[in-house]
């Protein structure tokens, strides 16, 4: 039996010590009946080598050899080898939440640095230690805004990720929170309609930067209008883009959330990912999630602890600001190690590569007859093209010849069934981009 | 240790990146660009690696020390699980692929892992269906409670606004109920450590939506009236939720579904050996009985007649989307590898040894520390330090810090809330008898020290990288990031 140290002799000795002749008597003394489960339908135990082979076989049945141009909020960035080496340290990954700070300075200090990096990227005052993912973080931003403003309505742009919007609708269904969704305008948010939708009951307005279509929008005046109407402005971000773009803090946003998968975390078929949340000093004490703070030990040396814990469920129970208990600690460590390895210039270089490849890709694709742009707005590394036919059919044909060539928008936006959302990261080479363009042209015209 | 920023020098970089192979251009207007790059550290790869490796040494983990943290099930995290989760065919898989036309064919291996996990958990725990989507235990609670709410709503039973929660419950239970708009009401524990049945009967009524019960309880005790509790709830039209935080004690002996629970979450990062990661990522799959199955979150995975797997979204009664995709797949993979390793005959061995180890500690420490309920325990035992507190002013916190100096991570402190000066000890099945004995010796030594020289314990820890930290200062004057110069 793997992973159990007690030998038969140990067990006999220990059973005797606790006053039981066998395991059955131990169960009886613990007053546990048996439901006599029949586990015969479970597989029988396998050796390590057999488990590995089975897993390898299953792994081989997944298409990870496609040349990937799909983003949609989850991107195929390069993860430096050093990052995996750092997060593979079992002193980090086999530890619990750092409740005993004297034995957890590694986790605590790394989290403090994560919070620092997120604040610098977003331009905000405080970041928490992370949440489950970008979608749950955005939902928690609504509840945070509702607590701060003591109001219960949220206005959300349809240019926010449909994946996130579906989650927010689900979570809000049993709460006294009213959601108002404002349709997008081309590839932009409809800023005027968003502002107009804000009334006295509105706690916050939610937008995305860059938005789901990849478009970059200027938000400074918009945020001011939202503030004038006494609501908070919330922004969901793609952190890699923030290496180049004006930060949400500079544009005046009150709460920033985001999906941090792009910061060194693998795509891993949907998780674990990294929910980012940062906010202003004013909202700090109402923010959900763990927060690490700096302090001193008995000898006056600098150290770190979990702080502002009176917000949390283990103290406040039903009055806590959220039910969240764990965060995505290891994914936050990954992000911190990733940003450290890339560094100030390296991170910017990655973002510039993404942006340059996207421009090159878009130009090549628009040279193909029948492929049209959708809007002329600025973008970072993702954009939409319009095809002369159904985009999902084209995407399928691209798969057949080795390209995950983009995400067809029809299933989330029915009036966009001819549109393909395409992303480029620093991993895509000039040759791969040319090959995609050639393949697309062949599919459309041969 | 100094922060990484202290090693930063302009121009250093910790990874080699490709040059531009296309013209350097971007589609971002100047006015939307950041004026200055975000001030991240600039260090060489060696400096980065050395910094983090040294930082990791300031931690205690399951791989370095005994970690008997109650209700957290800090069992050994098998290394083969880590290897499998990193296989390229899983780690590099984009979650949007199966949403393409005929896209399910691109991810058959991954879909099978999730499907097989759902089926194996149903068999092991006695439920009709499972969802692997919840991303943590508390997230599983939220999902389960949403389904309870949806169930009553579907029955046009709109009066049920109350969720009952025993006083020994984890704080996440009442918080999760509140996040779903429920009012919470507390049920006391009787003097045998069980749910107080007369008190339960008194509050059960047409306004009660459900009861959240941790089984075994956070006192480490099995409530032998659990079937009656389930029956009482059902008779009153309420559903009963099982918090599976302590599932490790039940494997192979009792299936929660068979006892009458309607819905349950399990923590893959506890009973199923996936690492805690210094605070996540976890995974909190939820199992349901037949009557709650229509409300499960979407997407759902089905196995077709030809043996292939596909995703379905057409479940009109579903509560909707609780996760971006299919759950914390990387964590699910580790638990999958674990379940395949353990197999049908191994689960009872886990619970037997977990319960044996806890009772061994309980028996040996009983002469030195107070036990509130003098019974055989399950996978964890709870002691109170209140005698030492009263006589020598030595608290649970002091004993905990004393253990740190003896190379042991402390048990859970001050929980459950109904035990004063509580220490909650969960050794798990993976620890050897010798390790348990080292712990027992350390605890006895501390009990004696409390009597003979309490001041020495109050100085602990002195062997850790830092001494006791001033948590009050951190909360009073929060410093939550490194300020930029």
Domain harbouring A407, CATH code: 3.90.1150.10
d(CA B187, CA B167): 6
Both A272 and A303 in a single domain? yes
Half-sphere exposure of A18 (CA within 13 A, CB side): 30
A414–chain B Cβ distance below 8 A for any pair: no
ipTM above 0.90, yes or no: yes
Both A254 and A352 in a single domain? no
Chain B residues in contact with A243 by the CB 8 A cut-off are 34, 37-38
Helix (H) / strand (E) element for B239: namely strand B239-244
Contact B40 A120 (CB under 8 A): yes
Are B431 and A14 spatial neighbours (Cβ–Cβ below 8 Å)?
A: no
For the cut 90, the answer to whether the pLDDT of residue A369 exceeds it is yes
A335–chain B Cβ distance below 8 A for any pair: no
A17 within some domain: no
CATH number at residue A284: 3.40.640.10
Which residues sit opposite A276 in a β-bridge? A258
CB-nearest partner of A26 from B179, B258, B376: B376
What pLDDT was estimated at residue B344? Answer: 97
Both A110 and A147 in a single domain? yes
Both A285 and A352 in a single domain? no
Half-sphere exposure of B212 (CA within 13 A, CB side): 35
What average pLDDT score do residues A251-277 get?
98
Q: Compute the residue count for chain A.
A: 446
A18–chain B Cβ distance below 8 A for any pair: yes
A117–chain B Cβ distance below 8 A for any pair: yes
Both A285 and A396 in a single domain? no
A375–chain B Cβ distance below 8 A for any pair: no
What pLDDT was estimated at residue B64? Answer: 98
Total domains, chain A: 2
CATH topology of domain B348-475: 3.90.1150
Both A250 and A366 in a single domain? no
Residue B181, judged by CB atoms within 10 A of its CB (0-12, 13-18, 19+), counts as middle
What average pLDDT score do residues A277-300 get?
97
pLDDT band at A327 (very low <50, low <70, confident <90, very high): confident
What's the gap in Å between the CA of A130 and the closest CA on chain B?
10
What pLDDT was estimated at residue B400? Answer: 97
Cα-based angle B407, B410, B414 (whole degrees, multiple of 5): 165
Q: Which of B59, B111, B74 is nearest to B90 (CA)?
A: B111
d(CA B292, CA B315): 12
Domain boundaries, chain B: 88-340, 348-475
Of the residues B251, B281, B318, B396, the best mutation for testing chain A's interface (the one with the most A CB atoms within 10 Å of its CB) is B281
d(CA B52, CA B334): 24
Are A270 and B95 spatial neighbours (Cβ–Cβ below 8 Å)?
A: yes
C-alpha dihedral sign at B446, B450, B453, B459: positive
Are B257 and B287 spatial neighbours (Cβ–Cβ below 8 Å)?
A: yes
A51 within some domain: no
Q: Which of A243, A9, B267, A269 is nearest to A258 (CA)?
A: A243
Are A336 and B37 spatial neighbours (Cβ–Cβ below 8 Å)?
A: no
What average pLDDT score do residues A329-334 get?
98
Chain B residues in contact with A175 by the CB 8 A cut-off are 179-181
Give long-range contacts, CB 8 A cutoff, 24+ apart: A98-101: A98/A292, A98/A305, A98/A306, A98/B278, A98/B279, A99/A306, A100/B60, A100/B400, A100/B404, A100/B409, A100/B410, A101/A303, A101/A304, A101/A305, A101/A306, A101/B466, A101/B469, A101/B471
Contact A343 B12 (CB under 8 A): yes
Both A316 and A405 in a single domain? no
A61 within some domain: no
Of the residues A329, A332, A340, A379, the best mutation for testing chain B's interface (the one with the most B CB atoms within 10 Å of its CB) is A340
Size of interface A-B (CB pairs under 8 A): 700
What pLDDT was estimated at residue A253? Answer: 98
A28 within some domain: no
A158–chain B Cβ distance below 8 A for any pair: no
pLDDT band at A302 (very low <50, low <70, confident <90, very high): very high
Please say which residue of A287, A315, A339 terminates a domain. A339
Please say which residue of A339, A365, A394 terminates a domain. A339
- Comparing A318-322, A386-390, B474-478, the range with the smallest average pLDDT is A318-322
Contact A355 B28 (CB under 8 A): yes
Q: Where are the alpha helices (DSSP H) in B343-414?
A: 347-365, 386-392, 396-405
Both A256 and A353 in a single domain? no
Chain A residues in contact with B97 by the CB 8 A cut-off are 63, 66, 70, 404
Both A351 and A330 in a single domain? no
Both A175 and A242 in a single domain? yes
What pLDDT was estimated at residue B345? Answer: 96
Q: Which has the higher per-residue pLDDT, B211 or A325?
A: B211
Of the residues A270, A379, A399, the best mutation for testing chain B's interface (the one with the most B CB atoms within 10 Å of its CB) is A270
3-state secondary structure of B266: strand
Q: Give me the residue label for tokens 């998780």.
A: A271
CATH 3.40.50.150 fits B88-340, yes or no: no
Residue B188 tokens read as 């006391």
Both A372 and A318 in a single domain? no
What contacts B133, CB < 8 A, 6 or more positions away? Answer: B143, B285, B297, B322, B323, B326, B327
Which residues sit opposite A292 in a β-bridge? A306
d(CA A351, CA A344): 11
Residue A224 phi/psi, 5-degree rounding, is -65, -40
A265 within some domain: yes
A21 within some domain: no
d(CA B112, CA B121): 14
For the cut 90, the answer to whether the pLDDT of residue A175 exceeds it is no
CB-nearest partner of B471 from A30, A295, A346: A295
What pLDDT was estimated at residue A313? Answer: 86
A434–chain B Cβ distance below 8 A for any pair: no
What's the gap in Å between the CA of B312 and the closest CA on chain A?
14
Residue B331 tokens read as 């964590």
What average pLDDT score do residues A34-40 get?
94
What pLDDT was estimated at residue A325? Answer: 84
A326 within some domain: yes
Cα-based angle A234, A239, A241 (whole degrees, multiple of 5): 105
For the cut 90, the answer to whether the pLDDT of residue A111 exceeds it is yes
A349 within some domain: yes
pLDDT band at A311 (very low <50, low <70, confident <90, very high): confident
Contact B337 A380 (CB under 8 A): no
The answer for B314, left when phi > 0, alpha when psi is -120 to 50, beta otherwise, is beta
Please say which residue of A298, A324, A339 terminates a domain. A339
What average pLDDT score do residues A282-289 get?
96
Task: Name the residue of chain B whose CA is nearest to A349's CA.
Answer: B17
- In order along its 485 residues, chain B shows pLDDT tens digits of 999 999 999 999 999 999 999 999 999 999 999 999 999 999 999 999 999 999 999 999 999 999 999 999 999 999 999 999 999 999 999 999 999 999 999 999 999 999 999 999 999 999 999 999 999 999 999 999 999 999 999 999 999 999 999 998 999 999 999 999 999 999 999 999 999 999 999 999 999 999 999 999 999 999 989 999 999 999 999 999 999 999 999 999 999 999 999 999 999 999 999 999 999 999 999 999 999 999 999 999 999 999 999 999 999 999 999 999 999 999 999 999 999 999 999 999 999 999 999 999 999 999 999 998 989 999 999 999 999 999 999 999 999 999 999 999 999 999 999 999 999 999 999 999 999 999 999 999 999 999 999 999 999 999 999 999 999 999 999 999 999 87
3-state secondary structure of B479: coil
What pLDDT was estimated at residue A323? Answer: 87
Both A191 and A314 in a single domain? yes
What's the gap in Å between the CA of B33 and the closest CA on chain A?
4
For the cut 90, the answer to whether the pLDDT of residue A315 exceeds it is no
**Neighbour tally for A315: CB within 10 Å:** 11
Looking at residue B207, the DSSP 8-state letter turns out to be T
What's the gap in Å between the CA of A197 and the closest CA on chain B?
26
A 47-86 near B (Cβ less than 8 A): 48, 51-52, 54-64, 66, 68, 70, 72, 74, 76, 78, 80, 82, 84-86
Q: What is the domain extent for residue A427?
A: 67-75+343-445
């Amino acid at each position: 039996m793997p992973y159990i140290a007690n030998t038969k002799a140990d067990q006999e000795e220990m059973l005797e010590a606790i006053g039981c002749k066998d395991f059955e008597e131990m169960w009886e003394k613990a007053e546990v009946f048996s439901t006599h489960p029949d586990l015969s339908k479970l597989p029988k135990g396998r050796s390590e080598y057999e488990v590995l082979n089975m897993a390898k076989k299953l792994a081989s049945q997944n298409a990870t050899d496609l040349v990937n141009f799909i983003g949609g909020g989850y991107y195929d960035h390069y993860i430096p080898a050093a990052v995996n080496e750092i997060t593979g340290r079992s002193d980090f990954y086999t530890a619990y939440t750092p409740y005993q700070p004297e034995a957890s300075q590694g986790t605590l200090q790394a989290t403090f640095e994560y919070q620092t990096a997120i604040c610098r990227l977003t331009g905000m005052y405080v970041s928490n230690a992370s949440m489950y993912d970008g979608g749950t973080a955005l939902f928690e931003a609504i509840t945070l805004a509702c607590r701060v403003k003591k109001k219960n309505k949220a206005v959300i742009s349809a240019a926010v990720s449909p994946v996130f919007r579906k989650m927010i609708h689900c979570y809000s269904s049993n709460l006294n929170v009213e959601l108002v969704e404002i349709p997008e305008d081309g590839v932009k948010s409809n800023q005027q309609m968003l502002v107009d939708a804000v009334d006295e009951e509105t706690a916050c307005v939610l937008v995305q930067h860059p938005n789901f279509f990849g478009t970059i929008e200027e938000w400074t005046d918009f945020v001011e209008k939202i503030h004038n109407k006494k609501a908070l402005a919330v922004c969901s971000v793609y952190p890699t883009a923030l290496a180049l773009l004006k930060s949400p803090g500079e544009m005046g946003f009150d709460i920033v959330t985001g999906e941090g998968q792009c910061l060194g975390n693998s795509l891993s078929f949907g998780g674990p990912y990294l929910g980012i949340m940062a906010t202003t000093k004013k909202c700090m004490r109402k923010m959900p999630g763990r927060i690490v703070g700096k302090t001193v030990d008995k000898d006056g040396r600098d150290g770190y602890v979990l702080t502002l814990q009176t917000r949390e469920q283990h103290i406040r129970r039903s009055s806590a600001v959220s039910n969240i208990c764990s965060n995505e600690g290891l994914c936050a460590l990954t992000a911190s190690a990733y940003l450290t390895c890339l560094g100030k210039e390296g991170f910017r270089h990655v973002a510039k590569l993404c942006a340059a490849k996207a421009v090159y890709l878009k130009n090549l694709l628009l040279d193909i007859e029948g492929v049209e742009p959708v809007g002329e707005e600025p973008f970072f590394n993702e954009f939409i093209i319009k095809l002369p036919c159904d985009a999902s059919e084209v995407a399928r044909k691209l798969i057949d010849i080795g390209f995950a060539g983009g995400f067809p928008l029809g299933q989330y936006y029915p009036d966009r069934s001819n549109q393909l959302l395409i992303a480029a990261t620093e991993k895509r080479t000039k040759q791969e981009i040319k090959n995609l363009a050639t393949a697309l042209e062949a599919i459309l015209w041969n | 240790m100094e922060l990484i920023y202290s090693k930063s020098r302009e121009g250093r970089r910790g990874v080699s990146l490709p040059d531009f192979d296309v013209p350097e251009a971007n589609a971002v207007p100047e006015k939307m660009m950041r004026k200055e790059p975000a001030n991240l550290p600039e260090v060489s790869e060696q400096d980065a690696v050395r910094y983090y490796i040294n930082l990791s040494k300031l931690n205690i983990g399951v791989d370095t020390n005994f970690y008997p943290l109650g209700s957290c099930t800090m069992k050994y995290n098998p290394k083969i699980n880590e290897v499998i989760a990193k296989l390229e065919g899983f780690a590099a898989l984009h979650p949007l692929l199966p949403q393409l036309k005929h896209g399910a064919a691109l991810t058959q291996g991954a879909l099978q892992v999730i499907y097989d996990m759902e089926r194996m958990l149903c068999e092991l725990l006695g439920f009709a269906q499972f969802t692997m989507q919840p991303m943590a235990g508390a997230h599983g609670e939220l999902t389960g409670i949403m389904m309870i709410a949806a169930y009553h709503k579907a029955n046009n039973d709109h009066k049920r606004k109350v969720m009952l929660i025993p006083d020994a419950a984890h704080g996440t239970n009442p918080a999760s109920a509140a996040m779903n708009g429920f009012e919470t009401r507390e049920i006391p524990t009787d003097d045998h450590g069980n749910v107080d049945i007369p008190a339960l009967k008194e509050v059960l009524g047409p306004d009660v939506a459900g009861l959240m019960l941790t089984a075994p309880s956070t006192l480490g005790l099995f409530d032998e009236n659990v079937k009656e509790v389930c029956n009482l709830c059902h008779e009153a039209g309420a559903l009963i939720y099982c918090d599976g935080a302590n599932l490790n004690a039940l494997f192979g002996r009792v299936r929660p579904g068979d006892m009458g629970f309607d819905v349950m979450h399990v923590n893959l990062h506890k009973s199923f050996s996936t690492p805690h990661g210094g605070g996540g990522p976890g995974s909190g799959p939820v199992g349901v009985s037949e009557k709650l199955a229509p409300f499960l979150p979407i997407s759902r995975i089905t196995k077709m007649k030809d043996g292939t797997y596909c995703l379905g979204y057409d479940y009109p009664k579903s509560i909707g989307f609780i996760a971006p995709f299919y759950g914390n797949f990387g964590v699910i993979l580790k638990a999958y590898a674990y379940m395949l390793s353990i197999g049908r005959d191994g689960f009872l061995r886990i619970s037997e040894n977990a319960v044996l180890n806890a009772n061994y500690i309980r028996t040996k420490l009983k002469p030195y520390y107070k036990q509130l309920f003098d019974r055989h325990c399950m996978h964890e035992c709870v002691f109170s330090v209140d005698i030492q507190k009263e006589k020598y002013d030595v608290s649970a916190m002091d004993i905990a810090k004393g253990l740190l100096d003896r190379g042991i991570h402390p048990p859970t402190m001050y929980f459950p809330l109904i035990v004063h000066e509580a220490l909650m000890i969960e050794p798990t099945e993976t620890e050897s008898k010798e390790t348990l004995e080292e712990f027992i010796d350390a605890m006895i030594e501390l009990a004696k020290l409390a009597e003979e020289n309490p001041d020495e314990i109050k100085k602990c820890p002195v062997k850790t990288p830092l001494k006791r930290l001033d948590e009050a200062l951190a909360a009073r004057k929060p410093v939550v990031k490194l300020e930029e110069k």
